[in-house]
A and B are shown apart, each in its own frame.
Chain A
Amino acid sequence: MADNVNTNSRGAGDVILDVRNLKTHFGDDDKAVRAVDDISFKLQRGKTLCIVGESGSGKSVTARSILQIVDYPGKIYGGEILYWGDQQVKSGQPLDLAQLHPRSKQIRSIRGHEIAMIFQEPMTSLSPIHTIGSQISEAILLHQNVDKEEARARSIELLRRVEIPNPAVAIDKYTFEYSGGMRQRAMIAMALACNPKILIADEPTTALDVTTQAEILALIKELQQAYGMSVLFITHDMGVVAEIADEIGVMKNGKMLEFGPAEQIFYTAQHDYTKELIDSVRKLETSARKARKSTITDKKLLEVRNVSKIYPSRKSFLGKASDPFKALDNVSLDLYEGENLGIVGESGSGKTTMGNCLIRVLEPTSGEILFKKSNGNISDLAKAGKSELRQVHREIRMVFQDPFASLNPRMTIGQIVGEPLLVSGLASGKELRERVGKLLETVGIPSAAMERYPHAFSGGQRQRIGIARSLALNPRLIIADEATSALDVTLRSQVLDLMLDLQEKLGLSYILISHDIGVIRYFCDRVAVMYKGQIVETGEAGLICSTPEHPYTKALISAVPGTHPRDKRIVNRHRYVADAAPGKAVA
């Protein structure tokens, strides 16, 4: 308490936001969910504070509490949020935001004016039916005494500031006409509209590709310096934290476990959970394959030759024909038995189309996919008939990205895992139960859990269940499409380790499709880098990740956030120019 009085009498100093014992609960009674449970932190003027934590840790609710925009029934239950804006510094009295009514005029004059916020989903966070310009100038008109013309001119200037090409035209476009990265830029422009003192960024880059993420992070950093803003950055990604944080707060289950300067947290973390978080990211910086005995053989399992997938041009209602779209453009790959091949690329690069063509969910337009079956015969999957495919599908299985959507909520996990066996008529009744039990145990889930439904399991466990299902028919090749992207970092390496264990035990080969360089580096022997439907580079994972040849790969690798606060990689990143001219493939 003494300290409390002290800071007050001393005035603001360098602290612009002083959060003390903040409690935000959902619900009133004993059963209330304590989303934010007694946390304190300070945001320094002009600095960046990162609040890091896994999903459900309460970091977003903390951010929203500051602006009092927590969704009902969430409510600030106790504590203080002391804001030291220019006025408050002058008067020597801080403004306690926690005391303001969520609908009061005072808090509204803070929102968007003194403290602005940007959000995770740039698609849904902007209104789909208002133009970008009207949404930006709305913020200007609300807080500043200017007319519409002036607001529009300022909006154009803001769009230019966040590097939106041709801002005078772009201002009248709608959200859906912007790409993900551009939407986030527009969002930032909107937040900057009134020169806020504090920018709260709630996972602003999570939904973006890694190169776009790097661009946005660099932009925020640059604007922060230009405008002298303080930034409160909410994220789950330790890599991003290492890039931008001056100070770090680590949250778990609504508590602030640790709070301190970035280097202190990264190098001398006190709390086990913080160490675990940092380790799980660092772990992905090396290759797991080096530590294990190699399972690679020189027998080719899969040979992809000149596969293309072209969506023909479509005529629109007015007879305007679109260009045919090459989702896959003459792609060739090899996979050896026991090998882990990574396919890396950004969204829209064709990597998922690739996976879908391999198991013929999509029909490739041309090319050959030669798969060596267990009986030694070679089958061309691109042309295989139905019965042939059915056979092959026992040997090639898929694991999907979203562990929540890919398991039927109305089936027990026993039924889910056993379904492939039942459908192919390989087992039923008691034998089926036994085999399902064994499969579940292989992936580390007790067989007694067989009768439970997917909702009873966490994300990581669900992904294990998905893997168990893919193992049911003793496959030889597993295609994992972003299998770990939906998982928290600490779970990510666990699932990858499980997959590697299974490989040693069962002699599997993997094709791992991912946008995450860390995951690829950890898991794969070789990598194919995809860009706009083409494979621009193939090579050993270690080499690609350290000394890439192709300029696109260079840009991609250099955009990956590091894990050491001292080497700000993103500031020195390599920018790939072809991005500026979309549609033009790399020569």
Chain B
Amino acid sequence: MFLVSLTVFVLIQLPPGDFVTSWAAQAAAAGEEVTPAMMEEMRRRFGLDQPLIVQYFAWIGGVVRGDFGYSFEWNAPVVTLLGERMGLTLVVTVSTLILSWCIALPVGIYSAVRRYSLLDYSFTFIAFVSLAVPGFLIALILMYMSVKMFNADVTGLFSPEYANAPWSWGRVKDLLAHMWIPVIILGTEASASLIRIMRANLIDQLHMPYVVTARAKGLTETKLLLKYPVRIALNPFVSTLGWTVPRLVSGAVIVSIVLNMPIAGPMLMQSLLSQDIYLSGAFLLLLCLMTVIGTLLSDILLVVLDPRIRVQ
């Protein structure tokens, strides 16, 4: 994690200029006058005039104590900003994950077992289309349709009256009512590739001799299918878990901007654009942490699922 934090810090420092220059550029664009003296003053106040290594240790020292610094742009501590967003991100991500698995597993199994059937071809077609069509386009279409057909505004994750309200049952219900659209959009995208993975894995397993052995024992086809080939085909599937979480966060940026969702993606992008280093640094750190945790989780799951790995 130390190396990761170092890399993150160097990465966010890489673009030319700093927050002050991009702030000044924005201010200038808005017609305000920004003098070099003002910029120097701001830099000194934010500590941006210090050498990089000092900045890094100041930052990482805070991180270790749980202080992720202060967002220049939002004028708020990074922790509070992150808290809400990351929580919602997790909710969206996990539900997307569940949805995509719920779609991908049965469809993948069906496609593999009834290979080259009409339905398999249709699933394959749909999967390729949803892989090829960018998520934000689907988002736009869905938004258009829901406005046209149900006269409902589906952007954001909350209705205006709940947007800044404290948590309550009403707010949760509101969240659920809004969440299905982004979850479906993100879920179809993710499940499209998972279907292909599942189908290919399972086809490899279906004709393995151990399947024939089990059949010769007198198992019913369904039980046989679920107990042997599907179980083994799940292993590579589980290892995809590790990179699903960060992909949903970073990959969903465009979709969540289109849908105006208060999750991590859009804020990460905004903070990168405005070179709000502490905010973006904290985001990137969290993302890396999630990747590490995701991979760890999938590894642990794999060990549980596959005895071959356990022994090695």
Task: Please list the residues of chain A having a beta carbon within 8 angstroms of any beta carbon in chain B.
Answer: 64, 67, 69, 71, 103, 108-113, 116-117, 119-121, 124-131, 138-139, 142-143, 174, 176-177, 187, 190
Contacts and interface: CB of A to CB of B under 8 A. Distances in A.
Contacts of B80: none
Contacts of B218: 108-113, 139, 142-143
A129 B207 contact: no
Interface stretch (B125-133, B153-161, B301-309): B301-309
Interface string B189-228: 0000000000000000001111011111111110000011
Contacts of B232: 127-129
A111 B217 contact: yes
Contacts of A120: 209
B215 A174 contact: no
A116 B216 contact: yes
Contacts of A138: 214, 217, 219
A69 B215 contact: yes
B210 A127 contact: yes
23 contacts: A64-B212, A67-B215, A110-B218, A111-B216, A119-B212, A124-B208, A124-B209, A124-B210, A126-B210, A126-B213, A127-B213, A128-B232, A129-B232, A129-B307, A131-B307, A138-B219, A142-B217, A174-B308, A174-B311, A176-B308, A187-B213, A190-B213, A190-B217
Contacts of A109: 218
B173 interface: no
A117 B214 CA distance: 10
B306 A129 contact: yes
Contacts of B208: 124
B231 interface: yes
Interface of B: 207-210, 212-221, 227-228, 231-232, 235, 305-308, 311
A69 B305 contact: no
A513 to B, nearest CB: 28
Contact of B210 (A110, A125, A143): A125
A183 to B, nearest CB: 11
A112 B217 contact: yes
> Shortest 4 CB-CB distances between A and B: which pairs?
A111-B218, A112-B217, A112-B218, A125-B209
Nearest to B229: A127
Contact of B219 (A121, A142, A177): A142
A143 B220 CA distance: 12
A219 B235 CA distance: 36
B113 to A, nearest CB: 10
B216 A121 contact: no
A112 B308 contact: no
Nearest to A127: B210
A585 B75 CA distance: 76
A174 B307 contact: yes
Contact of B216 (A67, A128, A131, A177): A67
Contacts of A176: 308, 311
A41 to B, nearest CB: 20
B212 A69 contact: yes
Contacts of B207: 71
A111 B215 contact: yes
A127 B306 CA distance: 11
Nearest to A63: B216
A117 B215 CA distance: 10
Among B209, B215, B216, B227, which residue has the most Cβ atoms of chain A within 10 A?
B216
Nearest to A140: B217
Contacts of A103: 220-221
Contacts of A117: 213, 216
Contacts of B213: 117, 119, 125-127, 187, 190
A130 to B, nearest CB: 8
Contacts of B306: 129
Nearest to B219: A142
B209 A129 contact: no
A108 B232 CA distance: 23
B217 A139 contact: yes
A231 to B, nearest CB: 15
A127 B217 CA distance: 13
Contacts of A130: 227-228
Contacts of A131: 307
A566 to B, nearest CB: 33
A117 B209 CA distance: 12
B253 to A, nearest CB: 38
A177 B213 CA distance: 19
Nearest to A105: B220
A138 B227 CA distance: 11
B217 A128 contact: no
Contacts of A64: 212
A128 to B, nearest CB: 6
A112 B219 CA distance: 9
A174 B311 CA distance: 10
A129 B216 contact: no
A470 B70 CA distance: 73
Contacts of B305: 129
Given A112-B217, A125-B213, A139-B217, 7 more contacts: A67-B215, A117-B213, A120-B209, A128-B308, A129-B307, A176-B308, A177-B311
Contacts of A142: 217-219
A142 B307 CA distance: 24
